[in-house]
Structure 1
Amino acid sequence: MPSEQELPQPPGPEWETTCRVCGHDDDPEPFWESGWPNEGAICPCCGNEPSMNDVSVIGLREKRGYWLGQGAPWDSPSSRPKNWDILEQVKHIPAEWR
């Protein structure tokens, strides 16, 4: 049996509720649980579904760039707050994923 040091380590923090692509953080369902992607969660803002592809800063920047290049449309427009400020929201993207 492998020792604890030999077991694969999760690629993220224990509990992460902020979308790594757009910084949205208004959902009770976490995007990452126990360090692993919650593949059932979909960001209502950018539409990103957390996956193992989201452990690459380069990949996240590509997704973010595409979303912003499309005009930052909301995946679920009815969830968009009336006073939504994209510049304020992207400030919430965790520093390690910018």
Structure 2
Amino acid sequence: MYFKTDGCPLEAAADMHFCAAQGRDHTQCCLRNGVTTTLAGQKCLTFCDQRPDRVTKLDYSYVPCYDRFESMKQCFYNDIKQKAEQQFGAARRR
């Protein structure tokens, strides 16, 4: 996406991250997972805080964050899993 070799436009990245993060702030998890340990540093946290009022126009300075996407996705997944277990786990025990 960043290098225009993908069919998805760079602008679609923001929508994809918002969806994956469920519109929530995962900054603390991302910090624990070392998301800021790239040349882009703190900028990578932009992808972790996906609350609706947080819109950032992406440019090439965010490319180093790509190396930490798996760590970010792990935060998103763990949060969704925990919320699902809280909501649906109690229903299964009945």
Q: TM-score, normalised by structure 1?
A: 0.24
Greater share of strand residues, 1 or 2? 1
Greater share of helix residues, 1 or 2? 2
Q: TM-score, normalised by structure 2?
A: 0.24
